[in-house]
Structure formats: structure tokens, C-alpha cells
Amino acid sequence: MAILKAKTLSELKTLQREPVDDKTYSAAVEIVERVRTGGRQALLEEAVRLGDMSPGQEIIYDRSALEDAANQLDAPDRGVLERTAQRIETFAKAQRDQLLDLEMAIPGGAAGHTFAPVESAGCYAPGGRFSLPSSVLMTAVTARAAGVKHVLVASPKPSTVTLAAAGIAGADSLIALGGAQVIGAMAFGVEGVDACDVIVGPGNRWVTAAKRYVWGYVGIDMLAGPSELVVWADETANAEVIAADLIAQAEHDTDALPVLVTTSRDLAVKVNSALEQQLHSLPNAETARTALAAGYAVLVDSVEEAADACNRLAPEHLEVLVGDLKDAASRLNHYGGLFLGSGAAEVFGDYGVGPNHVLPTGGNARFAAGLSVLTFLRMRTWISSETALEENVIRDTAALARLEGLEGHARAAEARLK
């Protein structure tokens, strides 16, 4: 029996879905509001009630504690974190260097924009089945590269490696809590936890629901759902490599979505065989097998149909293993992160070659981008004129104001006439 079930292009649906179900959202709102109104005491009560902590447990690790954790790691482990942080920082700073301030002449004056970072950021890193120090690095290092002054990390039941990652990333502190309750604390502030301007990072449905609720009070990066990988491959691709990449995605979570898009039915058969063989020795085989069972192989007849399938799905991760990479890339419009060629495995995106691994899911790549320095920056526009703009601009402004019935606006413009 095939692990990846076959689908045709006509059977393919988009990945668009509600990021949070109504029941979870309502419960998360209640939790956030308890923390908002009850402060630190309510935060701790919710954390104990939900199994996040034991009574009396320390929840705040300051900068010195994070540095101590980094010092506790052996040299090889610390080196991995430091090198990964450096790669993320290098890429993020290169992005920042491309975002230039603007100044241009306008009739009678000048106009432009400047980029400025938010003052504080809350960076969430999951701590469920797996602690994810990589998410600490991806979020906190990027915030620092953008110029954010105050960086807080939140992660439930953090391991020493997670604490060390926060220290290496330059975080000011870490709050050892998770779920909707800590999102509420970072959004509105409680004793010991200052309110943040932006909250970022992946999390479970409770975190996502809370982020949805607090958006507007604070900025957020996105409403992320289960992780996704689409591999577009042709007869030139290696079935063993494809299987390994799909399994790497599938072991994340039972809700992860692994998909193969191919013009080669023979390749699809070989991939299914390779999946079965590789699962035998995988420690997380049960999780991966469940996710793979919900995945599928889209069998198409042409390059055009393959590109159509990928664009329709607009996945979080899109890996392309075909003979003509340049042609394939030119046909692709919607993806969170693109991985071209057999050397560009999606796992390298997960673990810090440079580009961020916090990416839009659920088809949101049609309108959203992944986390970057832009997430922590505001583009602010300005107009300057020491005396007055040119008369034609003033008169057009007044005329348009009167078309809208706003006489006060028109008179304010005309007050500048020479």
C-alpha cells in the first residue's frame, strides 16, 4: 500500500484554512484577558493550571542566567549555536542594508521615508515535543539585526540549550512559560515582563489563537499553522533524497503536510518504496507515518501542470528537484521559502544557512512573507517644506478636499497660499 496517496491536478485543493478553530480562539481570549486584568498573579495561576510550571518555580531568566547557560554547554554544542547565529545575523544584516532611506524633491519641498526598528520584541519558541533553540536564534538574532533595543524570549520548560541559544542570540531575558498566557503577558505586560511592540515566532494553536487576539494591540509576524513541504521533482531526481526530505518534514508533527508533485509516475512509486524503508530506522517513525498518511503525491502530465499545482498550494516550503531549475523557478509565484536543487535541502533552511525558517503556512504565501528584519521595522514617511509647497499643489489639495466636503481641510491648505 502506497504511503503517499496519488492525486490528480483536478483533485488538488488549496491549503487555505482557518488558522484557529472557534473553540480554541474563545478559550485563548479568556486566558489572555485573565492575564491582562490579573497581571503576574493571573499569569502564574494560568501557567500552573495548564501544566506550564510547578508552584514556586522560577520563570524569569535574566541576561546573566542566559550567559551562564551558554557557558555550561560543551564546546561543540556551543559552537553549533554560535555559527548558526552568525549565519542568521549575516543574512539579516544584508537584508537590512538593502532597505535604504529615501529623500526626493516635491514641488516646493521634499518627501521621503525612513526605516526605524520597534523598541521591543517578544520572541516565542515552542517547547512541546521538541524544544527548538533554532527558533530562538531565528527570531531573536533577526530582531537584534533589525536594531530592536529590548528582546524577550518566551519558551515553556526551556532546556539548557534553549537558554543558551537565547544568550547567544543577545536576548535580554527569557520567560519560561508558553501558551496563550505568555502571549498575553508579552502583549500587555505584567510585573517582571514588559509589554512588547511586536510578538513573533511559531507556536501551537493556543499561541496562534492568542496572537490573533492581541494583533492590533501589538504587531505580530503571522498566524502560522502546521508545517508544509512540497517537493516538485521529475525523473532526474533521486527518490531516496526526496523520501528523506519528506520524512524530515513529517516528523515535525502529525499535522505536518508532506507533498510530492511529479511528472514521473515511476518516481512516485520509488519514493513510496524509499519512504517505507527509511521509516523502519526512524526514532520518530510513528509521528512521521501519520503525517505522511495525510500527505499525497500529485501526478501531473507537464511542467506547466506541475507549476500550477505548486502555485495552487502556495506552501510554506517548496523544494524543486528538476532538470531545468531556472525554467521551473520562473514559473513559481507563491511560496514561503524556495529551495532549488538537490543541494538546497529544506532542512538547511530550518537550521540557519541564513534565510529565516519562520514562514507563512496554509496558502498564506499568496499574500504574506516570512519573518525578516522587515517584521521589526517601520517605514515612516515624511514631508518637508520650510515656506510653502507650490501653488498648484495647494490649489489641488483644496479642490480635492472640497470634492470630499471637507471645507476645513481646504482652508488649511489655502492658508499656505502666498
pLDDT at 133 over 60: yes
Spatial CA neighbour of 31 closest among 43, 21, 20, 19: 43
Q: How far apart are CA 277 and CA 346, in angstroms?
A: 21
Between CA 293 and CA 272 the distance in angstroms is 11
Q: Is-contact 122 186, C-beta < 8 A?
A: yes
pLDDT of residue 128: 65
Give this prediction's pTM.
0.94
Arithmetic mean of pLDDT over the chain: 95
Point out the residues that are catalytic.
316-317
Distance between CA 161 and CA 178 in Å, rounded? 17
For residue 201, CA distances in Å to 133, 157, 378 come to 12, 16, 19
User: Residue 106 pairs with which residues in a beta bridge?
Assistant: 109
How far is residue 259's CA from residue 300's CA, in Å, rounded to a whole number? 13
Cell numbers describing residue 38? 490579573
Dump pLDDT digits (tens) for 247-279: 999 998 899 999 999 999 999 999 999 999 999
Q: How do residues 377-407 score in pLDDT, each as one tens digit?
A: 999 999 999 999 999 999 999 999 999 999 9
Task: Let me know the angle formed at the C-alpha of 354 by 114 and 260, rounded to the nearest 5 degrees.
Answer: 115
Euclidean distance between the first and the last CA atom of the chain, given in angstroms as a whole number: 83
For residues 7 and 78, what is the distance between their CA atoms, to the nearest angstrom? 45
CA–CA separation, 50 vs 101, rounded Å?
46
288 pLDDT tier (thresholds 50, 70, 90): very high
Cβ proximity of 82 and 66 under 8 Å? no
Helix ranges restricted to H, 219-366: 239-250, 265-279, 285-294, 303-313, 325-330, 346-350
In 3D space, the residue among 145, 359, 144 whose CA is nearest the CA of residue 153 turns out to be 144
Q: How far apart are CA 251 and CA 131, in angstroms?
A: 14
In whole angstroms, what is the distance from residue 366 CA to residue 160 CA? 38
Secondary element (H or E) of residue 6: strand 5-8
Residue 17 pLDDT exceeds 80:
no
In whole angstroms, give the CA distance from residue 410 to residue 233.
Answer: 61
What is the reported pLDDT for 55?
A: 72
Nearest to 190 by CA among 270, 244, 122: 122
DSSP 7: E
**Cα 278 to chain centroid, rounded:** 29
Q: What is the pLDDT of residues 329-382, one digit of tens each?
A: 999 999 999 999 999 999 999 997 999 999 999 999 999 999 999 999 999 999
Residue 337 Cα distances to 240, 245, 320, 367, angstroms: 22, 15, 11, 13
